[in-house]
Chains A and B, each alone.
Chain A
Amino acid sequence: MSTNQLAVEIRGADKSFGANHVLQKIDLDIYKGEVVAIIGPSGSGKSTLLRAINHLEGLDFGYIKVGGELIGVREHRGRLHELPESKIRHQRARIGFVSQNFNLFSNLTIIENVAEGPLAHKKLSRPEALAKAQSLLDQVGIGEKSSAYPRQLSGGQQQRAAIARALALEPELILFDEPTSALDPELVDEVLQVIRALASTGATLVIVTHEIAFARQVATKVVFLDKGQIVESGTSAQVIDNPTNSRTKEFIGKVLWQSFSI
C-alpha cells in the first residue's frame, strides 16, 4: 500500500469542545483506493475526526491534507489561517459526505437533490446534471423514485439517494458518518451493499461505523479510536480478529457479543 499515492494526510489533529478534548494529536494516512473503517465507543471522537476531513469541524491544532492540499486553511508565514467560505466550498466539492440522518433537501425531489451539487458548482448544464443524476439513481437501485420527495421514501432508499448525491460531484474521497445507524435493521443491508459496490470500484472511502462485521468484510484498514486517540490501527485481521490493546479487545468483545445476542 505504501507505494500508492496519499489521499488523506492527517497530522497532529487536535480539537476540544470546551473542557472536552475530543481529538488528541491524531496522525493518520489514507491511501488512494483504501477503505478505512473508523470504529470505537460513542464519544471517542470518530465523527469529529471524519467531519474535520471536509472542514465541517475546524481543528484547533494540526492539519489535514486531501490530495496533497490543505483543507480549510492555508499556510502563511508559518501559521495556519482559516480560508474564506468561498474557497472551502470548492474543496468540499471534492469530498463526498454522507451523514447518519441522510439530510436530503426535503423541499426538492430526489433527482433534484442529486443534481444540486453539479448545478451549484456549474459543472454541468441542467439537462446533463439531471441525466447524470438519473443514471446515479439507477446505479443505487432507486431509479424509479427520481421524482418522489425524500419523505416519501424509506430510510434505506433515502440513504441510497444521499450516496448518489455525494457521488454526483465525482469526489476523490467519500466520507460516511455512521451511514446505517438511523436505519431499521432490515434496511441496513441494502445500504451496505451500495457501499460494498463502491469499495469494489476502487473508490477511497472513510466510514465511521458500528457495523463491525461489515467493517471486517469491506475495510482494508480499521482504525480503533478511544478518548480522542488512535489506540490501534491495521488490517481487519489485526484489529478486529486479533486486537492487542486491552481497550480494543474490550470494545470488540462487547460489540460482537451484542450482534450475536440479536
Chain B
Amino acid sequence: MTLNSTDQLAQKVTIRHKHSLRWVVIAIAAVLVAQYFHGLATNPFYQWHRFAYWFARPVILRGLVVTLEATAASAVLSLIGGVIVALFRLSSNAFLSTIGWVYVWFFRSIPNIVILLFIFNSSAIYPHLNFGIPFWHSFFQINSSKVPYFVFGVVGLTISEVAYAAEVIRSGVLSVDQGQIEAANALGLSKLRQLQRVILPQALRSIVPSYVNLLIGLIKVSSLLYYVSLLDLFGSVQEMGSTYPGDIVPLLIVGSVWYVILTSVISVFQFYVERYFARGAVRTLPPTPIEKLKKQFSEAYYTISRRNRA
C-alpha cells in the first residue's frame, strides 16, 4: 500500500466543534443582564431625572476636584515615601531594615480612618511644629491649628499608603533576576546606575499593576476625608443627601458613576504603561484592544470563508 493524500477525506476541511451548552449559558446570562438594565431604566426609585440634575452640579464637581487633588498629592508623596521605605527594608544594614519593617508593620495594621482622625487631632497633641536641629535649636515654628485641613487629610492618607507602596516596590525589586545585578556588578556599574538603568525599569513591570491597584484603592479610601471635615466627592454627595433627603439615591448613583469614571481612566492609563514596560520582557507586545478586535474580526471572517468553501 502506498501513502498518498489523494483520497477524498484528506481534502476535507475540519469544522470546529460547536459548544452547544455554552450557548445555553450565554442565553441565560443575556436575559439576566437585560432584566437588570430594564429594571434600572424603568424603576422610578432611581429617579434618573434627578441623577441628570445632580451629575454635573458645581457642588459635586467641587467635591470631585478635592478627591482628585487629595488622591494625586497622596499618590505622588506615597510613591516617594514608598521608594524610601522599600530601600530601607532592602538595606543590608539591620538597623535600617528594621526601621523599614516596623513602619510597614505598624501603619499597615491601623485602619485608615483611625490614622486620619489622629492626624486631624494632632494639633492638640503637638500644638507647635518646630523645624531645626533635633533636641537643640529651632529655626522656625508652625502653629498646628493653622495648618489647612487638606494638608492633614493628605498626610493622613499618605502615612498608610506609604506602607503599602513600600511593599509593592520592594517585591518588584526582589523580582529582578539576581543574574542581572551580577552582570551589572561585573561591568562595574555604580549602585545608582544599576538602579536607574537595570533594576527599576525591570522592577516597574511588576510594580505598575500592583501600584495602580493601590491607586484605585486610594481614590476610594479618600472618601474617608469626609470624616475629617473635607468635602470630597463622597462628602459633597453626603451633604447634599442630608439637605435633600429625597434625592439620596440619585446622589449616591452620581457618586458611584464618578468613581467608576476615575477608575476607568486609570485602567486605560495602566494598560499603556504596562505595555511600555513590557519591552524586552516578552518577545512580542500584547495587542491593544483595537488590535484585538481587528484580530477577532479577521478570524471570524476566515472561519466563515472556510466553512463556505467546505
Contacts and interface: CB of A to CB of B under 8 A. Distances in A.
Interface of A: 54, 56, 85-86, 88-93, 97, 99, 101, 103-109, 116-117, 120-121, 149-152, 165, 169
A121 B193 CA distance: 10
Nearest to B204: A107
A106 B191 contact: no
B198 A89 contact: no
Given A56-B185, A99-B183, A103-B179, A86 B280 contact: no
Give the interface size class of chain B.
20 to 34
B183 A104 contact: yes
B254 to A, nearest CB: 43
B180 A106 contact: yes
A163 to B, nearest CB: 13
A169 to B, nearest CB: 7
Please classify the interface of chain B as helix (H, G, I), strand (E, B), loop, or mixed, using the class held by over half of its residues.
helix
Contacts of A89: 188-190
A92 B182 CA distance: 12
B281 A151 contact: yes
Interface of B: 177, 179-180, 182-191, 193, 197-198, 201-202, 279-283
B202 A120 contact: no
Contacts of B283: 151-152
A106 B202 contact: yes
B191 A85 contact: yes
A125 B201 CA distance: 23
A117 B187 contact: yes
B36 to A, nearest CB: 45
Contacts of B282: 151
Contact of A99 (B182, B198, B201, B280): B182
B188 A117 contact: yes
Shortest 10 CB-CB contacts between residues of A and residues of B:
A103-B183, A97-B186, A92-B188, A89-B188, A149-B280, A103-B179, A93-B188, A107-B201, A107-B280, A106-B280
8 contacts: A54-B186, A89-B188, A99-B183, A103-B179, A105-B184, A106-B177, A116-B197, A120-B197
A106 B282 CA distance: 9
A116 B187 contact: yes
A65 to B, nearest CB: 18
